[in-house]
Chain A
């Protein structure tokens, strides 16, 4: 009850004109960096951080936090419209979102994503406000062994993304894993597969790989068909069809739960949240074959999950002072710069600050919903722009985005190279999503495995000795056994499809 009262007081501060303005500025910038492929919330916040030095802490943090959650809204736009994820968490959205756009339902995809994002984001903030501190203790239970088990479970869920052929899907997934090994070994510091190239010391950046494989390859493929391309049907409305409301709302609720839970874990990332949500939707759907062909649940669930994730990710920051991702780390830097020490004492020493920022996040999410619903219709028209005008523009924006990752030209070259690889793989009908996802997960899998083994005194047994980790491993094994069983039951029909080509 007490916190509810404090929250109301927070609204009083957050609703002053200046704070509203900064909140609006923050979410708008967030939207923009989210829309630009390559530019993410980390870059957006880092650029604006020095500007906030002279500001009061409350408006400064309100604005920076706005960028953080605003970007999650923006990332959807490019995924749906041009099949290029604006940020990592939106890779999954490409699968069904882009298909929807091709059917002229881009507006609907963006609309449902905005609604889902709003619900997911608001519930997560509610969690931060009401049950944050006790939940935070849970975060401390997740260290390398638990991570590793979680990632392995995450890998299992990839099976849902394999596309038509299991063999090709697995090939793509392994390719992604191999790519993630390039660069410095996270635990011993040994440098691998760099061929003496210093630029490769940290391996490839996710943004570069994703923009190349998805975006550039899409442009190359479309460039092939010189004649007028598929005619995109007229855009139909922003809201789902009648029969779609119920499944969409259910996906949104599930996505909220999944995203919130994963957000609590420092070090997990938004990608896992949307990945788990997508496979959950596919497993639960009456007709899983619709997925990959424009299923609305495939957009609603993951988009909700990544917003719920980003809201919940602030809980460890506010309550423990532990940033869960590089983006949140920039926010931590901002806290410190403004003389605020996040952690258990923050709620006691600066209650007006904490509650104003939390209140502003409710307002920000509402602003984003208001901005996004009408905008969705406008954005969706982008898909109608002729390719010969649209693609050069995308190419320029992508190149700028790639450059902005590390401020070096080399990354643009790498992006183009991945574009060519993506083109070849698409031509050969390899699904790209598993490749990108294993690439993201690969680094975490490797480092958490090696760290666990270093902490462990009983080798690999550590994964089965700790309750959370053991439970996760158990679930993974169960899924594995069931999948093999169901395949065996369906005889070899599933495998036969693979050998065809």
Chain B
């Protein structure tokens, strides 16, 4: 027995030594701007559960990008949930900037978590690569609601402060902020009830227990199709073909809040690598199959390259920070 233990100890030590040796010898071979990128599969993490909107969009794009990446390499997607996506993004924040670790981000984890002071990173701490899609948030009510139009709703809310209840998928999410911005702009007072996801808030709305909900286009569609709910206003920063007739508040000076999904890399990732990736994503999003798959998921591709995506992040951050501060959501 004793002999065996000694042997085991020796072997373990040896194994440890060898592995640390390997790790050390590896690091200098990954200098800034590897010539032949990528030489191995690229890892991409999603901060939200598999099967959700952000996950689907990311997986479709990653799958399609195989054809467009050099050296026949591919992107491997995995989910790292927790902390409203901030655990995943914090990991990207600390990762090596060698282009082999990318993060799929949404307004939730890259904008809202840092704005609310709940993340160890800032929205600008990353190298934006590409915007994949952008979907407006909608204010929906039951079809038999007492207000037919957005103006009638405003009227009601002005006369009944703190009586109008609406559901969102979580506290301090983009949807909540969109509604707070509306409150600020029109001087109304409404009451937010946060649920675990849009499905729950829609259940409460359909059952008539809250008066409205803020949801995304694909979440609203099954229920507007069945005629149970209607869209009062588009609170987004982009228009949508599905609800063309919904009042588009951005035209009236409202900031507009979309929920978008995009890809970022750790800060300091070499420009060449970013461009290779952005190019691959751009080509992927132009494929007819990808467009069809996006459509199935209830959205559509809206590519923006590194520079443009960076501006979108900055603009989103600014408008969200503005509202959060004015509405007193963060102390």
- Chain A interfacial positions (CB closer than 8 Å to B): 42-43, 45-47, 49-50, 53, 139-144, 184-189, 191, 198-199, 201-202, 266-267, 320-323, 326, 329-330, 332-334, 336-339, 341-345, 406-408, 447, 451, 454-455
Q: Would you give the shortest CB distance from B312 to chain A, in whole angstroms?
A: 25
Cβ-defined contact, A53 with B82, below 8 A: no
Cβ of B60: which chain A residues have Cβ within 8 Å of it? 53
Contact of B298 among A191, A329, A336 (CB under 8 A): A336
Cβ-defined contact, A341 with B79, below 8 A: no
Cβ-defined contact, A329 with B52, below 8 A: yes
Cβ-defined contact, A45 with B51, below 8 A: yes
Cβ-defined contact, B293 with A406, below 8 A: no
Cβ-defined contact, B200 with A267, below 8 A: yes
- Given A139-B203, A406-B81, does the pair A49, B223 have CB atoms closer than 8 Å? no
Query: In the complex, what distance in Å separates the CA atom of A345 from the CA atom of B210?
Result: 24
Cβ-defined contact, B223 with A189, below 8 A: no
Cβ-defined contact, B63 with A50, below 8 A: yes
Cβ-defined contact, B86 with A454, below 8 A: no
- Given A201-B118, A406-B80, does the pair A46, B49 have CB atoms closer than 8 Å? yes
Cβ of B221: which chain A residues have Cβ within 8 Å of it? 341
Query: In the complex, what distance in Å separates the CA atom of A184 from the CA atom of B221?
Result: 30
Cβ-defined contact, A143 with B209, below 8 A: yes
- 21 A-B pairs with C-beta separation under 8 A: A42-B49, A45-B51, A49-B51, A53-B293, A139-B203, A140-B203, A141-B207, A189-B171, A199-B82, A201-B83, A201-B84, A267-B200, A321-B223, A329-B51, A329-B199, A330-B49, A338-B296, A342-B222, A343-B225, A406-B87, A451-B195
Contact of A266 among B116, B165, B199, B208 (CB under 8 A): B199
Query: In the complex, what distance in Å separates the CA atom of A418 from the CA atom of B120?
Result: 27
Q: Would you give the shortest CB distance from A63 to chain B, in whole angstroms?
A: 14
Say yes or no for B128: interface residue by CB 8 A criterion: no
- Given A140-B206, A201-B118, does the pair A329, B225 have CB atoms closer than 8 Å? no
Q: Would you give the shortest CB distance from B209 to chain A, in whole angstroms?
A: 4
- Given A46-B79, A143-B204, A322-B199, does the pair A198, B293 have CB atoms closer than 8 Å? no
Those of B190-235 within 8 Å (CB) of chain A = 191-197, 199-200, 202-204, 206-210, 218, 221-223, 225-226, 228
Cβ of B195: which chain A residues have Cβ within 8 Å of it? 451
Contact of B87 among A43, A50, A198, A343 (CB under 8 A): A198
Cβ-defined contact, A454 with B193, below 8 A: yes
Cβ-defined contact, B296 with A336, below 8 A: yes
Contact of B116 among A187, A189, A326, A336 (CB under 8 A): A189
Give the contact-size bracket for chain B: 35 or more
Cβ of A142: which chain B residues have Cβ within 8 Å of it? 207
Secondary structure call for the B interface:
mixed
Query: In the complex, what distance in Å separates the CA atom of A273 from the CA atom of B151?
Result: 46
Cβ of A321: which chain B residues have Cβ within 8 Å of it? 222-223
Say yes or no for B301: interface residue by CB 8 A criterion: no
Query: In the complex, what distance in Å separates the CA atom of A141 from the CA atom of B203?
Result: 9
- The list of the 7 closest CB pairs from A to B, nearest first, reads A46-B50, A333-B51, A140-B207, A189-B171, A201-B83, A330-B51, A143-B209
- Chain B interfacial positions (CB closer than 8 Å to A): 49-52, 55-56, 59-60, 63, 78-84, 86-87, 90, 116, 118, 120, 165, 170-172, 191-197, 199-200, 202-204, 206-210, 218, 221-223, 225-226, 228, 293, 296-298
Q: Would you give the shortest CB distance from A467 to chain B, in whole angstroms?
A: 14
Cβ-defined contact, B50 with A345, below 8 A: no
Contact of B226 among A345, A447, A451 (CB under 8 A): A345
Q: Would you give the shortest CB distance from B178 to chain A, in whole angstroms?
A: 16
Query: In the complex, what distance in Å separates the CA atom of A199 from the CA atom of B87?
Result: 7
Q: Can you name the residue of chain B whose Cβ is closest to the Cβ of A46?
A: B50
Cβ-defined contact, B226 with A344, below 8 A: yes
Contact of A339 among B203, B223, B296 (CB under 8 A): B296
Cβ of A189: which chain B residues have Cβ within 8 Å of it? 116, 118, 170-172, 194
Q: 6 additional contacts, CB 8 Å, given A189-B172, A322-B203, A323-B199?
A: A186-B171, A187-B193, A189-B170, A189-B171, A326-B49, A333-B56
Contact of B225 among A42, A334, A338, A341 (CB under 8 A): A341
Cβ-defined contact, B50 with A186, below 8 A: no
Q: Would you give the shortest CB distance from A127 to chain B, in whole angstroms?
A: 19
Q: Would you give the shortest CB distance from B190 to chain A, in whole angstroms?
A: 12
Cβ of B296: which chain A residues have Cβ within 8 Å of it? 336-339
Contact of B196 among A45, A50, A186, A322 (CB under 8 A): A186
Q: Would you give the shortest CB distance from B82 to chain A, in whole angstroms?
A: 5
Q: Would you give the shortest CB distance from A143 to chain B, in whole angstroms?
A: 4
Q: Would you give the shortest CB distance from B136 to chain A, in whole angstroms?
A: 18
Query: In the complex, what distance in Å separates the CA atom of A84 from the CA atom of B221?
Result: 42
